[in-house]
Chain A
Amino acid sequence: GESVGLHLPTLSVQEGDNSIINCAYSNSASDYFIWYKQESGKGPQFIIDIRSNMDKRQGQRVTVLLNKTVKHLSLQIAATQPGDSAVYFCAENIAGANSKLTFGKGITLSVRP
């Protein structure tokens, strides 16, 4: 069936380095994508979103890239900080699906001091 998946379960980066978290999606009808950050004991926190008519969107220290040709989504975090340590989820919305989001299992980002 259709699914959203993450390539790596964990990612360890050095403080100050850039982080890249990747996500593959398989539903070509998906038209909206969101990255969430979830810290331990908290609900998912919205980071950045992108619509399918765009291929890049930038926020504060974060950039989301969308490659519809290969159905790939990535989150880039510049100058990673200890506070960035969390589980990151990509989510996709399938057009016409009542904005129900399909989530991947998540990837843990660990920042080394």
Chain B
Amino acid sequence: DSGVTQTPKHLITATGQRVTLRCSPRSGDLSVYWYQQSLDQGLQFLIQYYNGEERAKGNILERFSAQQFPDLHSELNLSSLELGDSALYFCASSEGGVGLAGVEQYFGPGTRLTVT
């Protein structure tokens, strides 16, 4: 158990809908990262938050947004869903993540999103 929790585990929804994925980092970790894993693209970085502020952005679509709250949990909002958004969405956390050094990341169990 990494200490990172994600809810829900599975989500099935229809095209055009909006969903929210939730992540609670390990106790004491200030950085939260969101990653998407799809069959054709593999694992891709979406976005990073550090202590409530956006720190880095990757291949995140405009239809997707995220935030980190004062209690450090994070939510990833996916709207106007398309079939191609079906994927595993992972959250990870780390103690740091704002400098130039590598940081060990702890992954949550993931949310499997199926868009029908």
* Chains A and B come from one and the same complex: no
Q: B residues engaging A (CB < 8 A)?
A: none
